[in-house]
Chain A
């Protein structure tokens, strides 16, 4: 074991307007060792990867290679320093061949300066063989599965003689067999003396392949050490912190009668056997890892995708929801996670965004009535304390938090009975977060039923009356009261232990 890390971050800070993504973090990677980076969503892992690969420049602190401080002006600089990242969704070129993908930017040349295709194919073949892959280098990338694409990305990393390999949730989209192959490959890379940074939410794999760990929480360094010295409980504890230390609004009202009942919702690929009830004035949290099928389930409830099986009842009446328009008519609305693409129409003014689903009410015989639109838009945007110059301002000119307020105002204006919020505070500043939380509590108190999809443990803990945990498209636990602890959430979501008993309130 060497004493000088191949790559070290010392007190690295990165801020964005309104958010400190990394706050003086440390990280050390050693040759021939796998370091697991652990943290909740929003802990700063992605920012760290982008800082290491030269996409972001740190605002403070230093990056050292072999103890020598370096500065990456561009992604090329990081590549030249031997740092390469294999992303969750690999960034490769679908229309090029495997060999071209591996050697793009540094292909072997003939003496005329043209690409030496024969040599490139030969070298690609031996490189692929060295990692145990049996891919034909002449195959087009789009004809490969996600697992094979990972292999290509890894071969590319080896071809530029990388010293540091960053793997960002590499197993998220792989099957069990493919995961085993990836583990074998990680072992090969280790044997070759690469320093590996392995980002994962799955505790079983962290314990299986990592030698060291580093934990981040809310952009801050929490701790690091050898895997041999910790157990799962200690890691979970570090990840979630001592307690829910942010302030959430008090919940004074208790939920009323049952309002929505979903029975046996299934989808061919995304989720199965979803059955739950939602009471009036209740905030029901949905927790799980990314890819657990939560958003897909919510979009099915909202009529974007169709469930293959199952019924949805509101007030004991079966509602058939085939489109968002049906869902809105049934009183179900959805605030999507992807605000820019699915939520707000950024090139249209605030008032037009707010009134879009409510035009039937503000118009007469299909003809617009501007005065009514402005009144409706003002009523709901002011309730949410929207900060804007005027209602005629384009939504695109607002901050992320204020855009989210416009989307929420749009739905409240339809006077819904169930509001589904998908990661409602993701990527918005602390002040707006508090406003959204306060407003959620207010809505529930006023009798509206809220479904909140969130990957942030403090938010789930602080806001929900009850939490359903999903893993791989299925409900794995329903937690409330004393059973609702950060440890329980992480355990169920990550599938730690065989504890699958339902813990009801």
Chain B
């Protein structure tokens, strides 16, 4: 070994914060968001109304709550496709409890508790029995939705107490809805959890190489289990907000939401194979999806056509960096 005094000092980083930021996915996505915003503002005179914009946030707030937890789960190399079914089951559980005169605090606890229990069940199957999460959650998707359908039948639960409406219909201040505030708080909480804690570092390590993470002393299965719990909890929270906003629980509640959540996560730059992605990316993706659906709604584009736009947007935004790379080469 050479004399230690001769060592060059290894620099921390060669790139500055600004350089890394400019090359990031998030900046590209932000540009897309601004473009869509500008287009919408020019296309419809009703777009730049603050109350309309405030209403438009409902297009993404509930999905984004789940998307934050889903982002962590996908970065860790897992996935949960049962989230929409969890929303349905949690909403059904709240509606069922309503029949026995449970009040608002009790309803919220039941909604969140149902989500946690579903997440724990998924996590148990994946970490203890070693099953693939995509298979497990396709199974529990049918299971949770099925239980919900049996309880509901063809009917619906109505008559939620007035105080329960605050989550989905209330305002914190001026045009800021309660849901938007919850979204903002969760964005910060999940951003800090993923990017500023030991837990978040473990998530990246597992997503990149679970074996090496295990060999480095990371408690891999514990982290995975917690991520399923978190995702279940967020689905429960989304169920509370959605049920509160709609004022009822119907059999079709949150139908197909799992794919919209996954779309949001992938659009946000999270690698579907795990290992990379950021919370700021998911936040911007949530706004992009909200702006697109709202803008198209103002132009009286029907829902079916809207889904074509969202699909094309996803493919376009994901293909863009690769196309740019090819053109440069």
Contacts and interface: CB of A to CB of B under 8 A. Distances in A.
A356 B218 contact: yes
A345 B205 contact: yes
Given A324-B217, A410-B216, A442-B1, A359 B198 contact: yes
Contacts of B209: 341, 345-347
Interface in B103-152: none
B275 A368 contact: no
B308 interface: no
Nearest to B7: A382
Interface stretch (A94-102, A131-139, A253-261, A389-397): A389-397
Chain B interface residue bracket vs A: 20 to 34
Contact of A343 (B12, B212, B218): B212
Interface string B199-223: 1110011001101111111110000
A325 B10 contact: no
Nearest to B199: A366
A41 interface: no
B15 interface: yes
Contacts of B200: 368
Of B13, B197, B216, B218, most buried by chain A (CB within 10 Å of CB) is B216
B215 A347 contact: no
Contacts of B2: 385
Interface in A374-394: 374, 378, 381-383, 385-386, 388-393
Of A324, A344, A378, A388, most buried by chain B (CB within 10 Å of CB) is A324
Interface in B169-219: 192, 196-201, 204-205, 208-209, 211-219
A473 interface: no
B155 interface: no
A438 interface: yes
A66 to B, nearest CB: 47
Contact of A389 (B14, B198, B211): B14
Contacts of A346: 208-209
Contact of A368 (B7, B14, B201): B201
B328 interface: no
A173 interface: no
Given A343-B212, A382-B4, A391-B11, 19 more contacts: A323-B217, A324-B215, A325-B218, A341-B212, A344-B212, A345-B208, A345-B209, A345-B212, A347-B209, A356-B205, A359-B198, A363-B197, A366-B198, A367-B197, A385-B2, A389-B11, A392-B13, A392-B14, A438-B1
In the A-B complex, list the 10 residue pairs whose CB atoms are closest, starting with the nearest.
A392-B13, A357-B217, A359-B198, A328-B217, A356-B216, A325-B217, A390-B11, A345-B209, A390-B14, A438-B1
